[in-house]
Each structure stands twice: as C-alpha cells, then as structure tokens.
Structure 1
Amino acid sequence: MTDPNDAGGTPYAIEGGVPLMLPLDGAPGSVKAAHAATRTFLDRALPGRAIGRTMAVDALLVVAELVANACRHAPGPCRLSLRVSRQGIDVAVEDTGPGRLLPGMDGRRPDGAGRVGYGLMIVGRLTRGIRVEPRPHGKVVRACVPWSA
C-alpha cells in the first residue's frame, strides 16, 4: 500500500498531521469498521472545530461507499486513509482492483456509455470529484469532502 500523504492539499497540524490509515481485510464488516474509525477520527482530529452535521454525514457516506466498492469489486484487502486538509476531509481507499477509469467515475451519469452505480454518483456530488490513480498492484480512489459553508 502507498503513502496517503500525497493526496494533495496542505494538512492542518492536527494530531501531528498524522492521517488515519486503516487496513481492512475486505470481508463483511469492513464498511462498519471504516465507518466507526471515521467517526472517531473526525471527533479526535477536529475537537474544537464544529464541522457541521452535514459535513460529518457526507464524510461518513463517502467512506462507506468507497470502502464498499473496494470490498465488492477488488479481491483481497484494502486500506482507508483520511486526513484533514485546507480543502476539507481527504478520503483515499487503496485496493487491489484494476486501476482503469470507468464511465461515470466523475460522479456524472454516462450518456449511453454504460451503467454506473448510484453510490459513486452520490460520492461525486458530495465531493470535489473522484480520482482514480492506478498503482502497480491496484489503484487508489480519492475524493475530498469540502468544508461546509
């Protein structure tokens, strides 16, 4: 697995700037574990900053969808990485699936190019877009939940 610190954006000096890195086995229960770890991370990383219920719910939904997709479509383990940046909450899920871009991965419905799950469409709308970065043994899917206005 690769270093999530190359996600772009400048992290705040929160907890020494250390992101959450959670290895998951890809088995049933991985989404639940990722959800719980994300809640804890947000509570600890932003103790004096009210990020707003909407942003917290958005971040939890983005994490759940990206981890669920990794568990459903990629064989083997995956890793969730979270960090706080000036842009918002950076979410990265690394898995062993192919690193190709699929129609609609930007969160928009493709026009006649095939079907894309509604989960990724929702993630695309809640974030600044979805990026898929191929790796030698899989891919990293990244999204940033922007700070609420």
Structure 2
Amino acid sequence: MNAQPHVVIEESPQQESRHSAGARTATAEFLLQHCPWVDADAVLLVVTELVANAVRHTAGWWRLHLTAGHDALVVRMDDSSPQPPVARKPDFTGGGGFGWHMVQQLAGRVEVRQLPYGKRVEATWTRPATTAC
C-alpha cells in the first residue's frame, strides 16, 4: 500500500474562536514537512478562505483534509451545507466578495462536488516540473 501523508482537521461551530488559526497552523506545519515545493502563502490563503466560508455559511460541522502526493497537494473542505460557493462581485467598501475569486486564482484546480451530507470543495496544486541543469 502506497500511503500518502495526510492530515484531517475537524471543527464545529462551538470552536469558532480558534477555527482559522488552528487550521492555518496545522496547514503550515503539514506543508513544511510534506510539500516544501508549494507556494505556502497561496495555500494558507485558500485554507483561510475555505474555513471562513464554512464557518460563515454552514450551520453544522466542517472538515479540512490535506493530502500530499509526490506530484500534488490536495486541500479538501467538506461541510454540512449543500450550497455551493458563489462568486460575488467584489465590494471595495468592505462588503467582501473577494474570497471565491481568490481561491480559484491561487489553486491550480478547484472542484465542487455535492455529497449526500453536504458538499466538498477541492483545491489542487501540482508540483512544478523540475529541469536538470
């Protein structure tokens, strides 16, 4: 069996005070150990946005799952809401609307899937090809 490094971070509405910070810290540690090639700032911004959206738009649980393969990093956010993310026109007066656009720009690929218990947002970064000198 070819096991890939992974970590699962679970939170619930009762733990909102540390949701984003805990997910960011765990993600940063995971990236240092398993994905030194990835743009950590981009991944951390995406994780922050996915966590914030899950907390803001989901009345129930959410689960963040990170998997590192040799050629890719996959960040999955499962939550109890069946509603997919919706791109909104950015509001430069402080009303938001930047997050989903940012997720789509920073990740190499983004997919949203409906699940029997809610949805999954999956962001993937592919390891760049290395060239020999």
Place the TM-score, normalised by the shorter chain, in its bin: 0.7 to 0.9
Matched with 1:61 is 45
1:122 corresponds, among 94, 102, 113, to 102
Q: Indicate the SS of the match to 2:87.
A: coil
1:45 corresponds, among 31, 34, 38, to 34
Q: 2:71 and 2:49 mapped to 1: Cα distance?
A: 20
Q: Indicate the SS of the match to 1:28.
A: helix
Matched with 2:18 is 29
Point out where structure 1 has 5 or more consecutive residues left out of the alignment.
1-12, 110-115
Q: CA RMSD in A?
A: 2.4
Matched with 1:8 is none
Q: 1:103 to 1:43 in 2, by over 3 A?
A: closer
Amino acid in the other structure paired with 1:90: V
Aligned residues: 120
Matched with 2:115 is 135
CA contact (8 A) 1:58 1:145 kept: no
Q: 1:148 to 1:126 in 2, by over 3 A?
A: farther
Point out where structure 2 has 5 or more consecutive residues left out of the alignment.
90-95
How high is the sequence identity, in percent, across the aligned residues?
30
Q: Deviations over 1:43-71 (max 9, x none)?
A: 2224xxx426xx01111111111111011
Q: Indicate the SS of the match to 2:17.
A: coil
Q: Indicate the SS of the match to 1:44.
A: helix
CA contact (8 A) 1:96 1:139 kept: yes
TM (normalized to structure 1)? 0.70
